[in-house]
């Protein structure tokens, strides 16, 4: 299978703390690849390194075969990589549709100047409405972001990432703070996304992880201790001792 993302010996330290310590990882096209581990394992640091918001101290990152280790965020987006965040980041005083239009516009490079061709701006709204449908928010297009439920706002944030038409979507705890029903909607959304987008998922909800993931990688103290199919991870003694415990039963 084609590799969408490969890391080789990726390292990042904060003072004397090794947040990622020689992380080698491969994500293949078309899969949902879950990244799990206890708090402080280095998961969010790794996502920041992959996205380009954190500069690595060593190692390499290949995105669709291109070395992006030192590339800025916008260049990684051009190579097909997009992310969501643990803390929701939307334009809260704007509608769902306008949030999505801005995200589509950022990818398209449209300026919204009044002398632009009308059909060019129309295409932005068409694409934004397509994304709204993908994330199940078509009926909420005119609602301000700050009037959405927590789950809906997380859906919108996924939509902002989808607007760049990524080949690889990095989802950093998309179900954080959600109730049961909201989590179930997010799981269904990710299940639909896998048909068109490869997903690297950081998540603490193990029921969701084992339902969604084709492969699972486990980080502990910045190091990969196991990587494999979900059932292999469930049965891995080191993983059970370090993280899953009774959750794997």
pLDDT of residue 37: 94
Domain end residue (candidates: 141, 164, 187): 164
pLDDT of residue 135: 95
Domain end residue (candidates: 164, 190, 212): 164
Distance (Å, rounded) from C-alpha 152 to C-alpha 139? 11
Count of domains in the chain? 2
Residue, of 176 and 12, whose pLDDT is higher: 12
Distance (Å, rounded) from C-alpha 92 to C-alpha 148? 9
User: Residue 211: which H helix or E strand, with range?
Assistant: helix 206-212
Q: Which CATH number is 225's domain given? A: 3.40.50.300
Assigned domain for 228 exists: yes
Condensed to tens digits (0 to 9), the pLDDT of residues 62-93 reads: 998 999 999 999 899 989 999 986 556 788 89
Average pLDDT, the chain: 90
- 99 with 145, same domain: the answer is yes
Assigned domain for 86 exists: no
- 56 with 110, same domain: the answer is no
Q: What is the value of pTM for the model shown?
A: 0.89
- 30 with 152, same domain: the answer is no
pLDDT of residue 121: 74
Note down the domain range covering 135. Answer: 94-164
Count of beta carbons in the 10 Å neighbourhood of residue 142: 9
Residue, of 81 and 244, whose pLDDT is higher: 81
pLDDT of residue 106: 80
Q: Please name every residue paired with 217 in a beta bridge, in sequence order, or none if there are none.
A: 35, 227
Asked whether residue 94 carries a pLDDT value surpassing 90, the answer given is yes
Q: Distances from the Cα of 184 to the Cαs of 21, 34, 94, 187, in angstroms?
A: 34, 17, 26, 5
* 231-248 average pLDDT score: 82
Find where tokens 């944030």 sit.
157
- 55 with 160, same domain: the answer is no
Q: Please name every residue paired with 227 in a beta bridge, in sequence order, or none if there are none.
A: 217
pLDDT of residue 86: 56
Distance (Å, rounded) from C-alpha 224 to C-alpha 176? 23
Asked whether residue 117 carries a pLDDT value surpassing 70, the answer given is no
Cα angle for residues 30, 34, 38 (degrees, 5° grid): 170
Asked whether residue 120 carries a pLDDT value surpassing 70, the answer given is no
Condensed to tens digits (0 to 9), the pLDDT of residues 129-160 reads: 999 999 999 999 999 999 999 999 999 999 99
- 170 with 244, same domain: the answer is yes
pLDDT of residue 243: 84
Assigned domain for 89 exists: no
Asked whether residue 115 carries a pLDDT value surpassing 70, the answer given is no
Distance (Å, rounded) from C-alpha 74 to C-alpha 68? 11
Q: Distances from the Cα of 180 to the Cαs of 23, 71, 154, 207, in angstroms?
A: 33, 38, 14, 11
Assigned domain for 185 exists: yes
Distance (Å, rounded) from C-alpha 197 to C-alpha 167? 5
Half-sphere exposure of 190 (CA within 13 A, CB side): 34
- Report whether 198 contacts 28 (CB < 8 A): yes
C-alpha of 138 from chain center: 22
* 93-113 average pLDDT score: 80
* 101-129 average pLDDT score: 71
Assigned domain for 195 exists: yes
Asked whether residue 235 carries a pLDDT value surpassing 80, the answer given is yes
Q: Please name every residue paired with 172 in a beta bridge, in sequence order, or none if there are none.
A: 202
- 56 with 99, same domain: the answer is no
Cα angle for residues 141, 168, 21 (degrees, 5° grid): 125
- 71 with 186, same domain: the answer is yes
- 184 with 75, same domain: the answer is yes
Assigned domain for 16 exists: yes
Domain end residue (candidates: 112, 147, 164): 164
pLDDT of residue 88: 63
Q: Distances from the Cα of 106 to the Cαs of 102, 137, 194, in angstroms?
A: 6, 20, 24
Share of the chain above pLDDT 70, in %: 90
């Amino acid at each position: 299978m084609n590799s969408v993302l490969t890391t080789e010996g990726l390292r990042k330290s904060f003072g004397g703390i090794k947040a990622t310590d020689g992380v080698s990882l491969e994500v293949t096209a078309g899969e949902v690849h879950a990244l799990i581990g206890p708090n402080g394992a280095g998961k969010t640091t790794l996502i920041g390194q992959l996205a380009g918001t954190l500069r690595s101290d060593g190692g390499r990152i290949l995105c669709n075969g291109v070395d992006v280790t030192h590339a800025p965020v916008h260049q990684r987006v051009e190579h097909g990589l997009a992310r969501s965040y643990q803390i929701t980041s939307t334009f809260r005083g704007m509608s769902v549709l306008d949030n999505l239009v801005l995200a589509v516009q950022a990818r398209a490079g449209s300026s919204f100047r009044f002398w632009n061709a009308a059909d060019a701006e129309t295409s932005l709204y068409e694409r934004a409405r397509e994304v709204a449908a993908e994330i199940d928010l078509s009926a909420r297009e005119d609602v301000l972001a700050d009037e959405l439920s927590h789950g809906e706002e997380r859906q919108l944030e996924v939509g902002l990432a989808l607007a760049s038409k990524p080949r690889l979507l990095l989802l950093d705890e998309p179900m954080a703070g959600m109730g049961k029903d909201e989590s179930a909607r997010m799981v269904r959304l990710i299940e639909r996304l896998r048909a068109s987008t490869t997903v690297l998922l950081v998540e603490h909800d193990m029921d969701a992880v084992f339902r969604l993931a084709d492969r699972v990688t486990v980080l502990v103290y910045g190091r990969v201790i196991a990587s494999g199919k979900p059932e292999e991870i469930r049965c891995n003694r080191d993983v059970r001792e370090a993280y899953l415990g009774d959750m794997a039963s």
